[in-house]
Amino acid sequence: MLSALVPHDPVFALKAHVSHPPRQLAKCLAQVNDYVTLVSTRLQDLGEKVPSGGKTDVDARQEVEEAIEHYSCTGSIPQSVIEASRFRQPYYLGRFLPSLLCPSSTCSEPRDQFISALARCAL
């Protein structure tokens, strides 16, 4: 089992296992969660920062703000957003779009234009 290898795995491998846990079947969910917890604990014991399983909501909000700024300056959708929509769909659908669609009082017109542009190109 993978758990036996945790004390011997290098830090970069442990971080990868936390950031991108193994795909799981419903019947293996408990084992995968236990493994990720064990790896996280090992990283903390080594004094390493534990990845949060991808980008956080704060990172997503910052990327949304940067994308809106880029769009308002250039009139084009940033390449990072296009790439995220195609190659990082869990992040795009789970973090980026909810952050973009969250009501915000700041820069509402550029935000609305950016949303319209995304809808038109149907990423």
Two tokens, residue 34 = 């236990």
- Residue 98's H or E segment, with its range, is helix 97-101
pTM: 0.54
Which of 37, 44, 46 is CA-nearest to residue 18? 37
- Encoded tokens for 51: 């990845």
* Tens digit of each residue's pLDDT, the chain (123 residues): 678 888 888 888 888 887 777 666 667 777 877 888 888 888 888 888 877 655 556 678 888 999 999 999 999 999 989 988 888 787 888 888 888 988 765 668 889 999 999 998 875
